[in-house]
Structure 1
Amino acid sequence: MLSPSISRESSSFVEVSEPDPDGEDLESTPHSLSRAVYERRAEYTRSHSMKIKVGTWNVAACPGVHNDIRSWFVDGKGVDTKLAGLKISDLDGNNVKVRSKGDTGDPKSIPETPLGDEGVVLGGEHVGLYVLGLQEIVRLASAKEYIGRVYVDPEPLNKWKRALEEAVPHGYELIADTQMSGLLLLIYASPAIAPTVSSVSSVSVGTGIMGYLGNKGAVCTRIVLGETTRLAFINSHLASGTEKAHYERRCWDYNEITSRTKFDPVSVAGETSDIQEVIGDEDFAFWFGDLNFRLDGLPGDDIRRLLMLHARGEYAPGSSPRNYLESEIAKSEEPILIRHVESDDDEPIDLQAENPNTSSRSSSIDLPDPDDFLQDPHSDPTSLQATLDSLLPHDQLRRVQRQKKAFHDGWREGPITFIPTYKYDVGTFGVFDSGEKMRPPSWCDRILFRTRRYKSEYDGRVRDEEAARVKDEEMRSRGIAQAAQDEEVIFDYDPASDGVDTYGDYDEYDEGEDNGEDVTVKDEQADKLNLEIYTSHQRVTSSDHKPLDAVFTINYDAVVPELKSRVHQEVARELDRAENEHRPGVTILVEHSDLIDEAPGSQATTDAADGVNFGDVKYLYSKERSLTIANTGQVPATFAFISKPSGPGQPGQVAPSWLRPYDDDGAVKRLESEVTLEPGDTIMVTLEIYVEDFAQVRALNMGELQLDEVLILRVTDGRDYFIPVRGDWLQSCFGRTIDELIRIPEAGGARALRPPGNKDAAQENTLSVIDSNTLTEAVPRELTKLTDTFEPLLERAIAEREMTGASETPVPDAWPFESTTTSHSRSQTRALLLEALDTNTPLNASFPRGVCEVEKLETTAEVLQLFVASLTDGIIPASFWKTIDDDLAARKRAPTPDETRILTMVPLADSPPHSIALVHLVVRLGKVVAMRAPPPSSPATEAKPSRFDFRQSMGYGRARRTTLTDDPGLAARRAIERRIAEVWALVMIRGPEGVGEKERKASEARKRGVVEAFLAKV
């Protein structure tokens, strides 16, 4: 049964604080809370079972070998049951055809597994963890490649990851991928197991050239399962060669790997140690790979010839090729009876289904002839297993274990019931090395495992032996040992010569282990490990090594999040009751609920370490997050957010202007206001993020400002709480210059941009800075879209007012730039228009249904004013306005409208984008005046503006009668022109700062006169 997925909590406690300087009251610290919860772990852990499939393969850098991963590692194919010690119902060997590379298709894409192979090794969705160790995935020919490939060329890693991702069942997640030169370790977890995996730490240890390069060594990964159980996986490639020096070097490699492997510390009970973990600290360990241990003292030709006969089924006298074991089994009336490799009892295990052809004889009352029984394969001299048993005493791995040079401290291996995995001719079945070196077959590829119990038992024996040695030395120093030696007259034992190379003697590493024995893990939980399958895949012929895999079942205790949460709450209440009555304390709960207006895929939720995350933040778009502050102490708690310096020489502030707090009761009107809560009371504080300042918008667009802040909540006579607040700014067309806007690409609009210096690979197709050589528009696209949308809306709004009779109700002279509707009712429509401008989508499609034409018009007019006001340089930049203003101020008499327009346009000729934008805007504003107050149809009645029309507007003294007629319609038109000019003058024109009050007012009057001059012309 697989472990259920761990659910994610939607809120978390922020309890990060400075340590208590007194160090006396430990009951309220987060560490003490975590420790108390950890002590009650038995209440929230439950037993789970999971299967782990470990595979190893030296692919010898052969092309196309990655295509075989699915067949042998996941689907369990490619096993020759006659040569792997398995008796599983399979296809007749004569009917199994191997797919040849010479067949149709690309040779590199054809898996070299038998046609019709259904697979006999457990795989698919039944496996919780797939752990694959590969060796020689790249061919390294020089020391330069040993160093360079692992860091420069990611293609081998990506190729194998893609192959395994396509092979494992859908939904399996990559937990770890570690590569060092030709070594690669990949771990995939099922959808049920992946959420329970944590504390993943990977280490690479090179033991190759000079003892450090990566052509030999190991890649290791440690994971924590269910918050309780440590698993370590070591994929190694030890030194090769058949000489004694190579044998010793392999032992040296092993010791280097074990001593230099340092995993990151694991947080236990909320505390993280500074001491790194090593191999041996885990609960279950699996060591696999090409260990390169060979067979000693046997002629290679004899071993090769003997095993090839077995591979062909020709070893026994009179046997037919490839069918000796099957024919022998078919003759039997009874099943094969062999003892399980992990069991010490005398109960036999039935490994063969009863032959249906012998059912009549089986039912006979006659006792069977003893000769009709098949012998135990270990006792049958003609069996493959007997041959393997005769070779295993010469195995170097078992020798180094006996000599305690390597893999002796609790490491165990399943029974070897398969023929050696090395070395074969590539593309052949059962044909050992026929090349020049004629390497003898060996079990180079191995999978070993160790539990905490096995390690503890070995350590106990070492301690006992050391104690015995010390005791012997003490006895020898006192003369007791010599007296005892004089009485030994029967036996004379020489340890230097007796018992050498007696492979048949008792050996603790040759014993079968108890199947499913309980293992005591670090936190004293009872776990189990059971080896179910350990075999090679002889029919995979694409490398000179045969792939090897093993299937384990482990039983372990895992944390159940719901139960742990319940225990956490209970412990927190207990600690609260025990807390010092005279010390106030609060708990801050951060609500991380997503808002309904959150964009799909936005990361608005955060964990406790991230604090308050607002997710995506837009211009003039309000988002809120809530903090619940509860007094969990026994006395009233008074607290406030404290200010901190915002910069050198600047006054302190609690929060930047883009962050605002409030609550329903109005108690927190300002962040620094003190609030007192009685024990058990709570207060809900809402944090609102709202960016409206143009300077901040500009800084955010350019990457000069980040929405990142830390609020400090100080409890009087208590401690400080640090609450991180952050948001992700979305690029906007507001707060930019005209030169920038006319160069923004059409695709995606300003939203597709990213601030300079942002190297996010996910946005590699966007612009980090605007290309100054690319001109996409003569006028900012956003200005054109707003004015094009504005005109028809004005026509329909005026028609709507006339049809509804609202035209009798007067409106402000500057309408629609002075609104008649409330700003609150337009906020949603405004937000949609801003989004459409930033993303370059049609404005008309952004209006919500049911909004009247007047509200659409006034919202569009508001956004138009905001857009022009946000331009950093304005329609008329400050440098140009100084020239224009000086010319106007130098005149002794008021200029005519024509003269004013000429004085304005001449300096702007040096900046065509600003000149064009000015003409475009004032023409559209003039049309607004014309729609509001149409000009008279008779030219004779039209008022002709003179230089005196602008005297008062431009600061030239008292106004005189300004028209040649007293027509009230013309007077209304002039009033509309003047008021619209007043509204737009400060929005369009940027003036110098730091001038006196008198000069400022005079300059503003001249600004109004310039705009009015352009409106009078239209």
Structure 2
Amino acid sequence: MPKHDSPALPGNEDVGLYVLALQEVVDINSTTEALRPYTDPAVAKKWREELESALPKGYRFVAEQQLIGLLLLIYASADVADDVRFVSTTSVGTGLMGYMGNKGATTARLVLGDTTRLVFVNCHLAAGADKTALDRRNWDAAQISQRTRFDPIEHLTEESQPSGEYISDADFAFWVGDLNYRLQTIPGDDVRRLLMLHTRNESIQSLKDDSATDTRSVVSSATPDDELDPSEDPASLQTTLTSLLPHDELHLQMKHGKAFHDGWREGPIAFLPTYKYDVGSVGVFDSSDKKRAPSWCDRILYRTRRDKLAYDARVKEAREAKKKEDEMQANGTFAVADDDDILYDYDPDADGMEGNDDYDENDGYDETNDGVLRVTTKEGFDDEIRLEYYTAHQRVLSSDHKPLDAVFSLKYDSVVPELKARVHAEVAKDLDKAENEGRPNVTVVVDQHDKTTDGSQGVDFGDVKWNQVKHRTLTIANTSRVPARLSFLGRPSDGGEPSGIAPDWLRVKLNDILLSNVSTGTDPITLVPGETASVELEIQVADLGLVRELNDSHNHLDDTLVLRVEDGRDHFIPMRANWQETSLGRAIDKLVRIPEGGIRKLQHQRPDRTKSRDIRFSAPRELFRLTEAIEELGIRIIAEWDMIAPESEVAPWLQWPGWPFDQTCWTEWMGEGWNRAISEACDALDSDQSLTASLPAGMPAMQRLYVLANLLVMFLQSIPEGLIDENLWHQIDHYFAENDKTKRKSTEDEQRTALQEILSHSPSRNISFILLLTLLERLLQETASTSAAKEPATPTSPLAKVAGGTLQRVKGTFARGSAASQGEQARAALSRIFAGVLFSEAAGESKKSHGVQDRRRVEMLELFLRKDATG
């Protein structure tokens, strides 16, 4: 394509779309090209550059599709480009073995203004002048029609096909290219001699390439003074063409229903055949030895949606007529004697196939006298199309084909996005209003807890600490005109299955009834119009596994309640809370790095990584503070007991040897306010505040002690790897096993020394262990001295039995024994309690081995607690 100093394409800026369809941009007769598994993009790039240099300024690239030698390029003017959407391109190979790309088609689909589908097919069909080649051309065309699929555009219409759109779905389709149809039943030499009369030098001078006047007019050998109409002049080119066109294969195949018979049209042919010329010549047909017959191989066909529908209607009508005829014959309505008696003569290969005939008003087409076709598009809009001209260009000398071009004027409706959105919104609003008036609907109001909460964003519990209980409420009102049945649905889990109506940290009450956290959902309740229901939400984080996840940011207090309204819309109620980090659930090596001020001081901070590795304390500061507070409070209670307790009341450490860490001690005290007290104590621990001051002022001293004892047990139990981890315990257990095997058993002092040597390998754990032992030994000493100084009176409880000495609680009764016996029971009880919280569980232990391990852990603690008693 030669470069132009100025745009040289027809129509200039008046053209909205330029579609360039090329064949044989590479040598398709080359085996290498035909079998190449890819398409060389350099060829398309070269043609794009040349075309863009010739186009007027402002045109935008729309689509490109190449298949070996086939290339389809589409450009749009600035005005039209904004209307182009849903561009889809594809190709179909029909060459070697029926699929190679040396023959076939490149296709493109685009939508103008959201209203009008355009399809462009650029083809190169099978060559050859024999009957086999003709059949292969028809087969190629059918394959292209059947195998071409464009991307679906489902949202434009409900009729869109999910698997893709076909050529037949177009509102306007254009099929162009080297169709290769020849002239039948007429010798090539005769055609050549006949056309030579019109291609002599004196006549060919009137053929000016790219001239709409000359190329669209009939070229005649008559003198300028001849006033005869070209169609009536036997010597005119038009007369010659009219005599040749009845032999055109394409027209014959369309007429007989073999190809392009399903509504395709072609403009009037008023130009010389486009094939085959000597390269570099004007109007000189093939002068080689083969002397191929001139033919109109290159064509531009087009079809409207209305053309296709009319063809389908005629075929359907013919088939129904045939079906009716067959039914009449089967019923014996009439007998077929000869051709004159046949009521319906149906030929499925020919009936309804006169697709190339001129359409008139009886065919159901709306074609005006000026050639304008009016079409109702698939989207229901009224469009118009008109063929402006259709011609060949003799002065293009670089090929043995003469190129064609046609100009169509298309009038289409275009959707204005802003107007469409506004109309759509108004229609949707009206539809919603009409629909909602007949559907149940509820309004969910998040009750304002305080001035800082905003119910418009869902339920916000604010800051939530461990074991803290907070409440929020919702009001559900039936604001529709019909009764509403509503229920809470199970939330989908990661696996897609429902996982309960609420997370484990949330309890839901509906009208003061606690809802079961079932996976599928709750039973529905009915609200009549204007009726309301109250929902109470209670949050509490107590599970230590969840606490660890929240501390490590592996989980969040963020979820959604799903309220289902039958036959109405679902309501999604967001719930969130701001987790306050706690020292519970943290490893020893992290606890010893928490600075003064507690873990709460680091909330939402990003400490320097180098500083975060510094060990600040020899043991967790929280353990220092807990043991100190419990020891101080416990000693004071023990000291005051002899002074203020009635003679008839039994000391709790005599009733429960594991006092104050035995859970049975706490049972009668764990009433209202217990959870709040232990939560506040933990919060004081995390924020480095006074533990005793954090407890309610009116709480009895004994209850305060029990709260702190409970918190200590939980703190130790929450350490993920245990205060004595698996590695230390493995060494301790190995020591016990080896000591059991020796003939000379080690003394208790020797055992304690050996165990302390093992524990010293982990200083922070060793010191933590010593802190706990110191607390227990001090409490044992105080309770032992009190028991020795004052024997308790006979208990008033009917479950108590009296014997000599001190009181001992055995299976709900008390027995009097010695002070030394009471001390041994206390050491054993405390050892059992803390053996269950200090040690990590070794993975893979058998049931028998687990029992041995538990016994040895208790023995180890008893060994250390007997130190003062025996020392």
User: TM-score, normalized by length of structure 1?
Assistant: 0.41
Look at both structures and tell me which one has the larger radius of gyration over its CA atoms: 2
User: TM-score, normalized by length of structure 2?
Assistant: 0.47
Higher relative contact order (CA 8 A, sep 6+): 1
